[in-house]
Chains A and B, each alone.
Chain A
Amino acid sequence: MRPILLAGHERALTQIKYNREGDLIFSVSKDQQICVWFAHNGERLGTYRGHQGAIWTIDVDPTTTILASGSADNTIRLWDVKTGKCLKTWDFPTAVKRVEFNEDGTKLLGVTEKRMGHLGTIVVLDVKVDVEAEQADEKAMTIVCEESKATVAGWSYLSKYIIAGHEDGSVSQYDGKTGDLIYNIPIHELNQPITDLQWAPDRTYFITSSKDKTAKLITAKDLEVLKTYTADTPLNSATITPKKDFVILGGGQAAMDVTTTAARQGKFEARFYHKIFEDEIGRVRGHFGPLNTVAADPTGKGYASGGEDGYVRVHHFDKGYFDFMYEVERERQNRLAAAASA
């Protein structure tokens, strides 16, 4: 599994997203650039220019038509994926830390920072998945987080709920239509911020990562914690792999806490855990700074990680990865195969 090193960014990566087909990788970093790459060879397809501040977040609609990005310049921008043209800019009073399209790309949520007397909010924007169309100026909905600001948020299946992870370690479920708070449950250790929230392919469950050194698999419907993955380092990102029942966690000693130069010390490795058994099954080294974001290829062929070191490393899985199976899994597979043939 020889990784492809994408050395297009000059500063720390903040988020990586694959498109639905898994052939393009969108990456954003603090260097104010959005890059798009071919996943299979790491060639850079282009960049999207316009943001005036560090870009915190990126998302692409399911048809790979439009791209949304949120930045420290207090804007969410919508881009034409193909041409790189900026289609729309929404202004906010504070930085935008997270954007996400819903499952059909018609709604976009944005998480805004709590700063300068403004409370953290989750805003919902109606989007037309059409590069020609005029996008609405108005926000469709605003959810104000009074208790603890949201750090991450996402749309559940059917856009039924908005799930948000908070700075105090709790997870909230809001009604996707009305914005009413349904649940707020302390999931991670108190006051250990949730750093990432990524969905399973059908958006019925998701994984959260936290500075409390754990990642948790949680159902969208009633916020039940299914699994807990314990690491030995604060986590910045977690993702669920399609095809195989694994999760990938990324993190590492925060740069400001690293006192020694030894790379091994920082625990800058991507960690693979078995999704169901919660066992750690492997690590991938390579970054020389903490991993800020990990993303799994939706087709299950690989994954990409972006680090504080400014590099994106794209990995394509080997045969061994696909062959790896626990005895009980093989058992089940054989049983299913037998049932199917019978």
Chain B
Amino acid sequence: MAGRRGSLEPGRHGFSAVNQVKLQSLAVGYLEQKRESQTSGDGDFQTQVPRHPVTGGKVPPSKAPRQRNNEDCNPASLVLFAPTSQYRRSSQRVPSMAPSFDRLREEDLDEELDDLDDVDISDLREKYEVQLEQGYDTFVVIDGLPKVNEERKPKLIKFLLKKLNTVGRTREDLIYMPMGDDGNSLQFAFVEYSSPAEAAAAVRQLDYTVLDKSHTMRVNKLTDIDRYGREGRIDEEYTPPEIEPFQEKEHLRSFMADPSGRGRDQFVMFRGDSVGVFWNNEKDQPENIVDRQHWTETFVQWSPLGTYLTSVHAQGVLLWGGASWSRLKRFPHPFVNLIAFSPNEKYLVTWSNRPISIPDSGHPALSLDDDGKNYVIWDIETAKPLRSFAQQDIPGTEEHAGVKKPPKFPWPAFKWSADDKYVARLNQGTSISVYELPKMNLLDKTAVKIDGVMDFEWAPATPRRDGVKTYEQLFCFWTPEIGSNPARVALMSIPSKQIVRSLNLFSVTDAKLHWQSDASYICVKVDRHSKSKKSQATTLEIFRVKEKGVPVEVVDTIKDTVINFAWEPKGDRFVIITTTEPIGPTAVPPKTAVSFFCPEKTKGNTVGNFKHLRTLEKRNNNAIYWSPKGRFVVIATVHNQQSSDLEFFDLDFEGDKPEAEKDLTANLQLMNTSEHYGVTDVEWDPSGRYVASWASAWKHSMENGYHLYDFKGELLREEAIDKFKQWQWRPRPPTLLTREEQKQIRKNLREYSRVFEQEDAERISSADVAVVQHRRRLLEEFYAWRAVVEEELAEERAALGLPADPVAELLKAKTAEIAPQGEVQEQVIEEIMEEVLEETEEIVN
């Protein structure tokens, strides 16, 4: 034993550079040393009760880990840990230990038993077996430390402890830092944590921690060092990894090319048990592209750029796409409930209400670290999990009349910056954790502490602030009044974590953050109460993000409760819906008012102050759907038993403009009103040409189906489909045309549209001709068939000797029968016609 230990003396290795193999051998040495100090020292530890490798205590039988397989239950494996060359040499002197753990053969086992003079200790072994993997899971190896001498060693350990204790619990005496012959440390250390989870956290969070200019700390699991660092596991010579031959993949954006050349959009419909993808054919039956039974278990979802169709199953999430609609990616998050993509389709967040439980047999994608977690963030390209998170307890679920409301988990819990570089999660009331992609490490290793923070939203586009040249992403957050501190809305720049603009507010009960799609504005809808807290009012505070100094403009104080707000995409106008009645579950939906706002006209290129344009009173509307291209907006009443109307507005109507609004940058005109009974959802197609509205069986079972409108609100098509659940337009990636090219197209639009209009006209007329011809044929066929049948019938009658009309004879007979009773007389049947000559209405008092 001593010899073996001696062989591990670092001096002989000449630790000029700590490579993993050597580190590995040291790790073994360290462990064995520990073990030996724990055993009684007679050397024959095979008959010894195994002890916990670190605490040295006897492993209580109840705590003895379960045995996994035969190999593991051999206590010899306790020492047969690492086959370094030195070790092997020494082990030759101890024949019973000759083969290393992995190479252990049945015969070797027998040999050992023989050596022990046939003492059967298998029951003991079983009873006190320590599972190595588990036993060493609490250890990590720290590498890359500065060289210190005995004197300075405690200082370094103290320094390390501070870092190490941020992720778990460890003590000074659980850090072992080997010293070299020259009295200096060997630049690494072994650390034991109190649980495997902490060790895992240390590896995840402390690896690559910068200590000073020239030292970066590396943290690895001891078991990993063993697994990967064992001699023979790593070739001395570098062999390049075999690169799989390139396999042609399907073009994932082939859907952009409509085979008919009409630039149609696709959509997915989920009805009954089947999911189908279709081309929108306006008035005609949508053209089916693919239709599959049981394609999904709960719902389907397009990725934000339309590349993938997501299906959700109990076993996880699948992505489909390409022309053949084959399975492209698999994200096996068991019992997944919800999913969210990052804006550029790089990452996927999956959430399950049930914490992940990794079975003993392992999981194809997730590891033990993910056990108990609810959220998983995946890299879509590799289909590998990046990091998993547990659900947070949400504070503030107040008790109402003794009934505790189940906590509402915010979704999406992880919010993405516009460029997929950051993802952040709110820790309500304390901080916002911003993670950097793709490593998923906490930005600057700490969450952004913001006392009382209630909500935050990333800018939906990379902001371009006036005078800011460096890269930044912005998010907006708000905090309520705490003590005498006012409520605050602020913009924070990431990665600098600088507050760009902050606004203090008083008497705030709630605030909602609404970004405009270009990140030009953010409107903060602030619900305020009066001093007595009796009356409510809402103000809209608009931050003009792109202007110098981010000025804040306050738009009208609104007496009523604002129940909905929506910016014009890519524009600077917005619509709000207000109600005077308290919101809540009422039998009769509240009366609402719809107000339009737009900026004033200004000279030059600036955007004027926001002004109230018009308010439509006494409505039932509760939903706002802007066209993705702006200008047009649908104001709808959804989820309502009594009314379900859709109103289509144009904000740049080309007709006459009311005099009073001549200074405003909008000309509002109602284009059309439509009714769709029981409508639950409305969605514009990505081109802004069509609007689909549907009544989903998820919400109610009445008249499920969809309507399709053009942007003007003209009903193109309606279809009632049993158990209609979902409709979703396939999003399109942003255009590849440059600004100039787009401008050019807009300029020459007339020429293009002439061609398209002609094509459309031809298609429609040919379709009409086809329909007419089809009808003509049906008509001819039917009458031809009738002629044949009538002839046959006449022949049959004649053959049977029956009269041509079966009843005429009978009637004649009956008439004859009645007649003799009286005189045969001509009866004059008088038909009395009532005619209204004059109608007057008298009001009787």
With CB as the reference atom, state the residue of chain A lying closest to B720: A232
User: Per-position contact with A for B283-320: 1 when CB-CB < 8 Å, else 0?
Assistant: 00000000000000000000000000000000000000
- Cα-based distance from A129 to B796 in the complex (angstroms): 24
Known A232-B720, A328-B772, A332-B779; contact A129-B810, beta-carbon cutoff 8 A: yes
| B806 x A103 contact (CB < 8 A) | yes
- Cα-based distance from A221 to B790 in the complex (angstroms): 12
Contact of A104 among B772, B779, B785, B810 (CB under 8 A): B810
| A105 x B810 contact (CB < 8 A) | yes
Known A129-B810, A260-B702; contact A158-B796, beta-carbon cutoff 8 A: yes
Q: Could you say which residues of chain A place their CB within 8 Å of the CB of B811? A: 62-63
Q: Is B645 an interface residue (CB 8 A)?
A: no
Known A277-B778, A326-B775, A332-B779; contact A62-B807, beta-carbon cutoff 8 A: yes
| A157 x B793 contact (CB < 8 A) | yes
Q: Is A243 an interface residue (CB 8 A)?
A: no
Q: Is A134 an interface residue (CB 8 A)?
A: no
Nearest Cβ distance between residue A339 and chain B, in whole angstroms? 13
With CB as the reference atom, state the residue of chain A lying closest to B812: A63
| B775 x A158 contact (CB < 8 A) | no
Nearest Cβ distance between residue A258 and chain B, in whole angstroms? 10
| A328 x B779 contact (CB < 8 A) | yes
User: Per-position contact with B for A105-125: 1 when CB-CB < 8 Å, else 0?
Assistant: 100000000000000000000
Q: Is B802 an interface residue (CB 8 A)?
A: yes
- Cα-based distance from A12 to B785 in the complex (angstroms): 39
- Cα-based distance from A328 to B782 in the complex (angstroms): 13
With CB as the reference atom, state the residue of chain B lying closest to A261: B641
Taking CB atoms and an 8 Å cut-off, the chain A residues in 311-342 that contact chain B are: 326-329, 331-332
User: Per-position contact with A for B795-829: 1 when CB-CB < 8 Å, else 0?
Assistant: 01100101000110011001000000000000000
Contact of A103 among B782, B800, B807, B814 (CB under 8 A): B807
With CB as the reference atom, state the residue of chain B lying closest to A40: B831
Q: Could you say which residues of chain A place their CB within 8 Å of the CB of B192? A: none
With CB as the reference atom, state the residue of chain A lying closest to B785: A226
- Cα-based distance from A267 to B677 in the complex (angstroms): 13
Q: Could you say which residues of chain B place their CB within 8 Å of the CB of A275? A: 782
Q: Could you say which residues of chain A place their CB within 8 Å of the CB of B720? A: 232
Q: How many A-B residue pairs have CB under 8 A?
A: 60
Q: Is A83 an interface residue (CB 8 A)?
A: no
- Cα-based distance from A279 to B143 in the complex (angstroms): 80
Known A202-B790, A260-B702, A264-B677; contact A328-B775, beta-carbon cutoff 8 A: yes
User: Per-position contact with B for A212-231: 1 when CB-CB < 8 Å, else 0?
Assistant: 00000001010000100000
Q: Could you say which residues of chain A place their CB within 8 Å of the CB of B783? A: 332
| B775 x A63 contact (CB < 8 A) | no
Q: Could you say which residues of chain A place their CB within 8 Å of the CB of B785? A: 226
Q: Could you say which residues of chain A place their CB within 8 Å of the CB of B265? A: none
Q: Is A276 an interface residue (CB 8 A)?
A: yes
| A204 x B778 contact (CB < 8 A) | no
Nearest Cβ distance between residue B105 and chain A, in whole angstroms? 65
Q: Could you say which residues of chain A place their CB within 8 Å of the CB of B772? A: 327-328
Q: Could you say which residues of chain A place their CB within 8 Å of the CB of B793? A: 157-158, 202, 204
Q: Is A52 an interface residue (CB 8 A)?
A: no
- Cα-based distance from A205 to B786 in the complex (angstroms): 10
Q: Could you say which residues of chain B place their CB within 8 Å of the CB of A65? A: 814
With CB as the reference atom, state the residue of chain A lying closest to B701: A259
With CB as the reference atom, state the residue of chain A lying closest to B813: A63
B776, B806, B814 interface centre (most CB from chain A within 10 Å)? B806
| A63 x B802 contact (CB < 8 A) | no
Q: Is A20 an interface residue (CB 8 A)?
A: yes
Q: Could you say which residues of chain B place their CB within 8 Å of the CB of A202? A: 789-790, 793
Contact of A63 among B677, B702, B703, B814 (CB under 8 A): B814
| B810 x A62 contact (CB < 8 A) | yes
User: Per-position contact with B for A189-220: 1 when CB-CB < 8 Å, else 0?
Assistant: 00000000000001011000000000000010
- Cα-based distance from A129 to B807 in the complex (angstroms): 12
A104, A129, A219 interface centre (most CB from chain B within 10 Å)? A104
Which bucket holds chain B's interface residue count? Answer: 20 to 34
Taking CB atoms and an 8 Å cut-off, the chain B residues in 756-801 that contact chain A are: 772, 775-776, 778-779, 782-783, 785, 789-790, 793, 796-797, 800
With CB as the reference atom, state the residue of chain B lying closest to A336: B783
Q: Could you say which residues of chain A place their CB within 8 Å of the CB of B790? A: 202, 204
Q: Could you say which residues of chain B place their CB within 8 Å of the CB of A329? A: 779
- Cα-based distance from A202 to B786 in the complex (angstroms): 11
Q: Could you say which residues of chain A place their CB within 8 Å of the CB of B810? A: 62-63, 104-105, 129
Nearest Cβ distance between residue A127 and chain B, in whole angstroms? 13
Q: Could you say which residues of chain A place their CB within 8 Å of the CB of B779? A: 276-277, 328-329, 332
Q: Is A265 an interface residue (CB 8 A)?
A: yes
Q: Could you say which residues of chain B place their CB within 8 Å of the CB of A103? A: 806-807
Taking CB atoms and an 8 Å cut-off, the chain A residues in 243-299 that contact chain B are: 245, 260, 262, 264-265, 275-277
Q: Could you say which residues of chain B place their CB within 8 Å of the CB of A62? A: 806-807, 810-811
Q: Could you say which residues of chain A place their CB within 8 Å of the CB of B806? A: 62, 103-104
- Cα-based distance from A219 to B790 in the complex (angstroms): 13
With CB as the reference atom, state the residue of chain B lying closest to A103: B806
Q: Could you say which residues of chain A place their CB within 8 Å of the CB of B702? A: 260, 262, 265
Taking CB atoms and an 8 Å cut-off, the chain A residues in 3-19 that contact chain B are: none
Known A103-B806, A104-B806, A276-B782; contact A331-B796, beta-carbon cutoff 8 A: no
- Cα-based distance from A332 to B778 in the complex (angstroms): 12
- Cα-based distance from A205 to B778 in the complex (angstroms): 17
Nearest Cβ distance between residue B458 and chain A, in whole angstroms? 43
- Cα-based distance from A143 to B713 in the complex (angstroms): 59
- Cα-based distance from A221 to B814 in the complex (angstroms): 31
| A204 x B797 contact (CB < 8 A) | no
Contact of B778 among A105, A260, A276 (CB under 8 A): A276
| B703 x A265 contact (CB < 8 A) | yes
Known A62-B807, A63-B807, A260-B702; contact A331-B814, beta-carbon cutoff 8 A: no
- Cα-based distance from A62 to B806 in the complex (angstroms): 9
Q: Could you say which residues of chain B place their CB within 8 Å of the CB of A264? A: 677
- Cα-based distance from A219 to B796 in the complex (angstroms): 16
Nearest Cβ distance between residue B535 and chain A, in whole angstroms? 37
- Cα-based distance from A18 to B236 in the complex (angstroms): 101
Nearest Cβ distance between residue A233 and chain B, in whole angstroms? 9
Taking CB atoms and an 8 Å cut-off, the chain B residues in 58-103 that contact chain A are: none
- Cα-based distance from A275 to B776 in the complex (angstroms): 14
With CB as the reference atom, state the residue of chain A lying closest to B777: A328
| A158 x B677 contact (CB < 8 A) | no
Q: Could you say which residues of chain A place their CB within 8 Å of the CB of B778? A: 276-277
- Cα-based distance from A295 to B832 in the complex (angstroms): 26
- Cα-based distance from A194 to B779 in the complex (angstroms): 27
- Cα-based distance from A105 to B814 in the complex (angstroms): 13
- Cα-based distance from A104 to B803 in the complex (angstroms): 11
Q: Could you say which residues of chain B place their CB within 8 Å of the CB of A245? A: 782
Q: Could you say which residues of chain A place their CB within 8 Å of the CB of B796? A: 158
Nearest Cβ distance between residue A221 and chain B, in whole angstroms? 8
Nearest Cβ distance between residue B556 and chain A, in whole angstroms? 38
Contact of A158 among B641, B789, B800 (CB under 8 A): B800
Nearest Cβ distance between residue B829 and chain A, in whole angstroms? 11
With CB as the reference atom, state the residue of chain B lying closest to A204: B789
10 residue pairs A–B, Cβ–Cβ below 8 Å: A63-B807, A158-B793, A158-B802, A202-B789, A204-B790, A204-B793, A226-B782, A260-B702, A277-B775, A332-B779
- Which residues of B are at the interface with A, using a C-beta cutoff of 8 A? 641, 677, 702-703, 720, 772, 775-776, 778-779, 782-783, 785, 789-790, 793, 796-797, 800, 802, 806-807, 810-811, 814
Taking A62-B806, A63-B814, A265-B703 as given, write out 8 further A-B residue pairs in contact, using a Cβ cutoff of 8 Å, ordered by the A residue number. A62-B811, A104-B806, A202-B789, A219-B789, A226-B782, A262-B641, A276-B778, A277-B778
By Cβ-Cβ distance, the 8 closest A-B pairs, closest first, are A62-B807, A232-B720, A103-B806, A328-B776, A328-B775, A276-B782, A63-B814, A204-B789
- Which residues of A are at the interface with B, using a C-beta cutoff of 8 A? 20, 62-63, 65, 103-105, 129, 157-158, 202, 204-205, 219, 221, 226, 232, 245, 260, 262, 264-265, 275-277, 326-329, 331-332
